[in-house]
Chains A and B, each alone.
Chain A
Amino acid sequence: MAPQRSQSARGYVAKVSLPALPPPIGTSGLIGWLRQNLFYNLTNSLMTIFTVVLLWLLVSSASGWFVIDAVMQAGSKQECLKIDSGACWAVIGKRIEQFMFGFYPEAERWRPLVCFLLLFVAIGPLLLPSFPARRQMLWFSAIYPVLTGVLLLGGAFGLPPVKTALFGGFMLTLIVGVTGIAASLPLGILLALGRQSKLLAVRTLSVMFIEFMRGVPLITLLFVASTMLNYFLPPGTHFDLLLRVLIMVTFFSAAYIAEVIRGGLQAIPAGQYEAAQSIGLNYWQTTRLVTLPQALKISIPGIVNTFIGLYKDTTLVIVIGLLDPLGIGRAALADANWNGLSNEIYLFVALFFFVSCFAMSRYSLWLEKRLATEHR
């Protein structure tokens, strides 16, 4: 509709405002999005097309191997090859119980399963502030480690004892990972405080411990735990291998946690310490009420990264003969029936680790956002 023009000599004044024109085609909607994000100039259009072609080739060939030509049920690799040419996922199905529990006695497998389900009840109140009846449930979290220990090891309340050498599979990963995570945080905090201490002896010992642990590969520490630890203990001491591994993994990751938390402590303005001292708080009160909570909040991304690292590092226990999922997978590969199916087995284990580690990193992002209190 054309606007009315004033006929007077005072010039042009529009009486009504024009309706907004639609944006030009190609700047909004799907086309606009494509233009802005995929085809905004020649080089990028070419890059996009090239990537799409490459991706198509990859997906079409990979989907054949992964899904279309894959075999889900067979007794051996030879049977798989007779049925189809793709992945032989049958090996996973045949060994899934081992992948989950290792060689834990079959009749007792409900015990790790119960522990696994209770794990969510135990960590839920720690991780989620909106957890129902959080205060009461935290008591459960506190007794959970003891409960798991009794359930898994047995030997009490009429449960038959199970040797730790039979532990394996994802169960072992979770045991080492969760114990390491739970134990290394307090130790790491103590080490970080020790490194920041005014007392020379405390500081030097903390620095020595941290630098030593961070300077050597975990694998050498595990070797020490498995072959040499007995020399350092009184003759005749027997000390469970899994426990030794747990201690080493905890020490190793505590050193990294300590460095992350030290970074957080150093980032806190000196005014916070001074203010705490001026209202008469002593060292432990200052630490507990003022500096540590702030330092921990800043350090969350680093702490979670260290935890993810620890969780992934649990795979190294295969080098000293424990049967985590990788160890179970390697045992399956040594079986003449499944010889050579390394891709299937390793990809399956990789999927497990990806899901758990990705979930952890998402949780840390969420927590960071929730705790962000500074002005933006």
Chain B
Amino acid sequence: MSYLNSMWRNEQSRGVLIQVFVLTGFFALFSWLIGNVISNFTSLNKGFGFDFLFLPAGYDINQTLIEYTNRSTHLRAAIVGLLNTFLVAAVGVALATLLGFVLGVARLSRNWLISKLAYIYIEFTRNVPVLLHILLWHGIIVNTMPHPRQALTIGEVLFLTNRGLYVPKPIAETGIGLVWLGVVAALFFSVGLARYSRARQRQSGLQWPVFRINLVIWILLPTLAFFLAGQPVSLNLPVLKGFNFRGGIQLPPEFVALTFALAIYTAAFIGEIVRAGIVAVDKGQREAAEAIGLKPGQVMNEVILPQARRIIIPPLTSQYLNLTKNSSLAIAIGYMDIVATLGGITLNQTGREMEAMLMVMGIYLIISLLISALMNWYNSRVRLVGR
């Protein structure tokens, strides 16, 4: 007893003791839970295994990026769902970033009206649950948008109806390779020009209007290739036939509502992050940059943004991650993402709750661990090196 007492008084042996207690407790709890699962499974005559993934799914999915019929396997349904998750996440992230940066800059605008409007938008949006945003937008599209016959349209190309958004479908014809070549050439040229002009500026202080030259190149090269190849892209426009549209791409209301709502919601957070990042750059930096005669654009691009970026990017990434995780709310409006396919219909049809939920959670866990690993790598790269 006194031996134990003296062990407790020594810091190192106490540490070992505590860890032994904690680990014993943890493994006891863990084995108790697993034991319960095993006894529950045997009493219910359930097995554990992933063979159900190769059975035919037997349900339809209204939006698929790869080929899928209801005779495809559950695994393929899960992949379709995962791709749908990625699609919403990618489009949502792009829209949210765009809107978020506009909001962040608008918040800092000298124009009182614009900065106040941005503030009101941000406060109203981020203080309302994202699920409510999704349901509200879904309701707006389904209940208040017109029937296809009275569709809202932009230039007879885009049509918004209560059955979703109809957009033209570009169809590649022979010779499309030349256009891609033009795009790639423009990419190489612009990167090369940016690098060269930066090096030139470092050496001589002389500048080129890099952005304008690149803009011209980006428009010119692909357009030139497009006409040289004999206009190899045709648009399949949505056309009203009977009660609905034919042709084009139909984006179902669920997809439009989900993407839109996630983008609008996340943009409010991104706006605040951008504002905070810009404000956090020391005032003296701006003043010094102005004092040595940089133009407003240069002050922003060469001095403020490189420093703000370091502050903005980590929380920005976690917002992207949040958007991706929030896309799981798709199930509330019936968009078939990974949770709705694998964790929803497949789970209910096969009764494999354990396996299906383990897979769904595993997938999200992998995505978020990957992104945070990427983030740590970025942080260590841009960190200010102290002297």
Do B114 and A354 touch across chains, with their CB atoms under 8 A apart? no
Of B39, B332, B347, which contacts A235 at CB under 8 A? Answer: B39
On whether A312 and B129 interact (CB within 8 A), knowing A215-B368, A217-B328, A346-B135, the answer reads: yes
Q: Which residue of B lies closest to A356 (CB)?
A: B127
Do B113 and A51 touch across chains, with their CB atoms under 8 A apart? yes
Contacts of A353 in B (CB 8 A): 127-129, 132
Kindly state whether residue A248 has any CB partner on chain B within 8 Å: no
Do A216 and B365 touch across chains, with their CB atoms under 8 A apart? yes
Kindly state whether residue A224 has any CB partner on chain B within 8 Å: yes
Q: Which residue of B lies closest to A45 (CB)?
A: B111
Contacts of B130 in A (CB 8 A): 312
Of B39, B136, B325, which contacts A217 at CB under 8 A? Answer: B325
Do A220 and B343 touch across chains, with their CB atoms under 8 A apart? yes
Contacts of A223 in B (CB 8 A): 343, 357
0 or 1 for each of B351-364: is its CB under 8 Å from A? (1 = yes): 00110010011001
Kindly state whether residue B36 has any CB partner on chain A within 8 Å: yes
Do A48 and B331 touch across chains, with their CB atoms under 8 A apart? no
Kindly state whether residue A260 has any CB partner on chain B within 8 Å: no
Do A38 and B343 touch across chains, with their CB atoms under 8 A apart? no
Please give the distance in Å from B161's CB to the nearest CB on chain A: 16
0 or 1 for each of B24-35: is its CB under 8 Å from A? (1 = yes): 001000000100
Q: Which of A282-301 contact B (CB under 8 A)?
A: none
Of A201, A234, A308, A343, which contacts B139 at CB under 8 A? Answer: A343
Q: Which of B110-124 contact A (CB under 8 A)?
A: 110-114, 117, 123-124
Q: Which of B337-357 contact A (CB under 8 A)?
A: 339, 343, 347, 353-354, 357
0 or 1 for each of B1-29: is its CB under 8 Å from A? (1 = yes): 00000000000000100110011001000
A326 to B33, CA, bound (A): 34
Q: Which residue of B lies closest to A40 (CB)?
A: B110
Contacts of B353 in A (CB 8 A): 227-228, 231
A198 to B114, CA, bound (A): 51
Do A231 and B40 touch across chains, with their CB atoms under 8 A apart? yes
Do A231 and B36 touch across chains, with their CB atoms under 8 A apart? yes
Do B339 and A342 touch across chains, with their CB atoms under 8 A apart? no
Please give the distance in Å from B31's CB to the nearest CB on chain A: 12
Do B369 and A215 touch across chains, with their CB atoms under 8 A apart? yes
Give the A-B contact count at a CB cut-off of 8 A: 151
Of B23, B39, B143, B343, which contacts A201 at CB under 8 A? Answer: B23
Contacts of A232 in B (CB 8 A): 33, 36-37
What secondary structure prevails in chain A residues at the interface with B? helix
On whether A51 and B114 interact (CB within 8 A), knowing A201-B22, A235-B43, A319-B331, the answer reads: yes
Contacts of B325 in A (CB 8 A): 216-217
Contacts of B326 in A (CB 8 A): 217
On whether A315 and B127 interact (CB within 8 A), knowing A217-B339, A231-B41, the answer reads: no
0 or 1 for each of A334-376: is its CB under 8 Å from B? (1 = yes): 0000001111001101100110011001000000000000000
0 or 1 for each of A196-227: is its CB under 8 Å from B? (1 = yes): 00111110010000011011110110011001
A355 to B117, CA, bound (A): 18
Of A211, A319, A340, A358, which contacts B332 at CB under 8 A? Answer: A319
Contacts of A361 in B (CB 8 A): 127
Kindly state whether residue B83 has any CB partner on chain A within 8 Å: no
Q: Which residue of B lies closest to A234 (CB)?
A: B36
Contacts of A330 in B (CB 8 A): 135
Kindly state whether residue A28 has any CB partner on chain B within 8 Å: no
Q: Which of B35-65 contact A (CB under 8 A)?
A: 36-37, 39-41, 43
Of B40, B112, B144, B365, which contacts A215 at CB under 8 A? Answer: B365
Contacts of A313 in B (CB 8 A): 129
Q: Which residue of A lies closest to B115 (CB)?
A: A37
Do B36 and A233 touch across chains, with their CB atoms under 8 A apart? yes
A312 to B43, CA, bound (A): 39
0 or 1 for each of A43-64: is its CB under 8 Å from B? (1 = yes): 0100110011001000000000
Do A47 and B40 touch across chains, with their CB atoms under 8 A apart? no
Q: Which residue of A lies closest to B26 (CB)?
A: A205
Contacts of B136 in A (CB 8 A): 342-343, 346-347, 350
Q: Which residue of A lies closest to B133 (CB)?
A: A350
Kindly state whether residue B140 has any CB partner on chain A within 8 Å: yes
Of A51, A52, A199, A315, which contacts B131 at CB under 8 A? Answer: A315
Please give the distance in Å from A262's CB to the nearest CB on chain B: 14
Please give the distance in Å from A38's CB to the nearest CB on chain B: 6
Contacts of B89 in A (CB 8 A): none
Kindly state whether residue B268 has any CB partner on chain A within 8 Å: no
On whether A231 and B18 interact (CB within 8 A), knowing A51-B117, A349-B132, the answer reads: no
Q: Which residue of A lies closest to B20 (CB)?
A: A201
Kindly state whether residue A316 has any CB partner on chain B within 8 Å: yes
On whether A228 and B369 interact (CB within 8 A), knowing A37-B112, A38-B111, the answer reads: no
Contacts of B123 in A (CB 8 A): 358
Please give the distance in Å from A234's CB to the nearest CB on chain B: 6
A217 to B324, CA, bound (A): 9
Do A230 and B40 touch across chains, with their CB atoms under 8 A apart? yes
Do B369 and A211 touch across chains, with their CB atoms under 8 A apart? yes
Q: Which of B82-106 contact A (CB under 8 A)?
A: none
A353 to B39, CA, bound (A): 44
A38-B112, A227-B357, A312-B128 known; 6 other A-B pairs, CB under 8 Å?
Answer: A217-B339, A227-B347, A308-B127, A319-B329, A343-B139, A346-B135
* Chain A residues near B (Cβ < 8 Å): 37-38, 40, 44, 47-48, 51-52, 55, 198-202, 205, 211-212, 214-217, 219-220, 223-224, 227-228, 230-235, 308, 312-316, 318-319, 326, 330, 340-343, 346-347, 349-350, 353-354, 357-358, 361
* Chain B residues near A (Cβ < 8 Å): 15, 18-19, 22-23, 26, 33, 36-37, 39-41, 43, 110-114, 117, 123-124, 127-132, 135-136, 138-140, 142-144, 325-326, 328-329, 331-332, 339, 343, 347, 353-354, 357, 360-361, 364-365, 368-369
Q: List 13 A-B contacts (CB under 8 A).
A: A38-B111, A199-B22, A201-B26, A216-B368, A220-B361, A223-B357, A227-B357, A228-B357, A234-B39, A308-B127, A319-B329, A354-B127, A357-B127
Rank and list the top 8 A-B pairs by shortest CB-CB distance, nearest first: A342-B139, A37-B112, A357-B127, A312-B129, A201-B19, A217-B328, A215-B365, A215-B368
